[in-house]
Every structure is written in C-alpha cells, then in structure tokens.
Structure 1
C-alpha cells in the first residue's frame, strides 16, 4: 500500500472516530503532497511515496517552528505536538546514531573527503545513503565533526 493510500485510509478512520486534529492534519498532508506533485510534474503528476515523505518532513518542520514560537510567546503548543504525532506515523524508522556514524565514515572514505571544503559533496553522498532515515542536523554535525 502506498503512502497516499495509507493517508486516505487514516482519513476515513479519523472521520469515523471523530478525531478532528488527526483528520485536519491528514487532510492538510494530503493536500501538501498533491501540491508538491503538481509542482514537480504538472497537473497530471502522480503522488509518489518520495513526494509524500518530503511533504511529511516539511509539515513536521513547520510545526516544530510553530512550537518554538508558541513556547517563546508563552502559549500552549499541544495541538502542534499532537499533529506531529499524527505525521510521524508516515516516516520511516530513524536509524541510531551509531549506525549513522558508520555510514558517514564509510561514505567519507569512499569519496575521499578529508576537509571542510568537501562538506557539501560529503553531505550529498551521505543524504543519498540515509534517504530520510536520519535527521539532517544530526547528519550535518557528524559529517562536520569527522571532516574537521
């Protein structure tokens, strides 16, 4: 079952269970995924799993930024936290820091990166291997630490 089909199924379940936060979040995610597909391939573009994963990450990032703003302003960000919990169901299992460290070491050896000047090339190669299973900030910090 593709991710967009899973989202449709979750929308139906949220409707039946009258879970409004989940329903609103899933509808927003489906819309964002369709919009991203249209941006990439025009009006007849198909929504692929990669597009959905990108939309999920973007929606989570938006909510994390909102949570930070709410906390700074002294407001309760519980709704955004609930929305993130709904969205995280669609992300692949995140790899551990030890696994990521091994991949970074192997990738740096493969491309022969030795200094900070090759950070961009190294990041591109590592991101291709981890394919969304690790946080970009963590990847960046590990690559930077190993290249210095």
Structure 2
C-alpha cells in the first residue's frame, strides 16, 4: 500500500478519534507529498519519492528538536517528539548497526574504494540502497570508519 493511501486511512481514523496532534501531522506530511508531486509535475509520487519526502520531514523535526533542546523550550520539545513518533510510524524499519555495516562494507568492495578520497563514490552508490532505512549522517559515520 502506498504511503499516501495509508496516510489517508490514518487521517480518517484520527478524525474519528479526535486526535488533533496526529491529524495535524498527517495533514502536514500529506501536504508535503502533494507539493512535491506538483513540483515534479506528476499526478502521484512513487513510493521511493514519498519516502524521500517523509525522510525530509523527519529530519526537519529532528533538527528543530535539537535546537529547541538547546534553547530549553521543553514545551516545544515534547510536541516535536510526538510528531517524530508519528512520522516514524510511516518509515521503513531502520537498519541495525550490523546490517548497515554489512551493506557499507559490501558497497565499498563494489566501488573498489580505497581511501577517504573515494567517499563520494561510496556514498552515491550506498544511499539508494539504504534510503529511508538509515539516516545519512549515520551512514556517513560508518563509511568513514571503513575508509582510512
């Protein structure tokens, strides 16, 4: 089932349950997906493109969460943490450290990378494989560990 269809179902359920926070988050995410489709001049996005939008929304909230924690805004921190949980429910299951490391090592061998100079080559081959399943910063960290 496409993410947008799942969002539509959950939006209806949130309306019935009078869950204002979930409803608000789902509406924002749906709007982002629809805006991306308009931007790309498409009727609908592929599931991979929907995942890209979801990942962007999640990253924005995590960045904001970090900023609010530093500023001591606990009222906004709890709200954002709830929004993050809601969005994460639509993301694929995240890769464990072992799984990610295995994919990183395999990709390094595939592109025959030998040093940190090959970082871009490795990342460009690796990111499509882990899209939505691991954050870019985490992937970058593993690649740097394996490239000396």
Sort the TM-score into its range (normalised by shorter chain): over 0.9
Check the 8 A contact 2:52/2:131 in 1, yes or no.
no
* Aligned match of 1:125: 125
Aligned counterparts of 2:128 and 2:58: Cα–Cα separation in 1: 21
Separation in 1 of the partners of 2:97 and 2:117?
24
User: Who is 2:84 aligned against?
Assistant: 84
Give the corresponding residue for 2:72.
74
Task: State whether structure 2 residue 30 is matched by structure 1 residue 39.
Answer: no
What's the offset of the Cα at 1:87?
Answer: 0.4
The root-mean-square deviation of aligned C-alpha atoms, in Å, is 1.2
CA distance in 1, matches of 2:106, 2:34: 36
Cross-structure match for 1:52 = 50
Q: Is the 8 A contact 1:4 1:47 kept in 2?
A: no
Equivalence map 1:1-148=2 (5 Å): 1-40=1-40, 42=41, 44-76=42-74, 77-148=77-148
CA apart distance, 1:33: 0.4
Cα pair distance change 1:60/1:131, threshold 3 Å: closer
Q: Partners in 1 of 2:118 and 2:133 — Cα distance?
A: 23
Q: Give the structure-1-normalised TM-score.
A: 0.93
Shift of 1:132: 2.2
Distance apart, 1:127 and its partner CA: 1.1
Superposition deviation, residue 53 in structure 1:
1.0
Please, what TM-score do these two structures have when normalized by structure 2? Answer: 0.93
Instruction: Give the gaps of 5 or more residues in structure 2.
Output: none
Aligned length, in residue pairs: 146
Following superposition, the deviation at residue 51 of structure 1 comes to 2.2
Output the CA distance in 1 between the equivalents of 2:129 and 2:45.
Answer: 22
Greater Cα offset, 130-139 or 118-127: 130-139
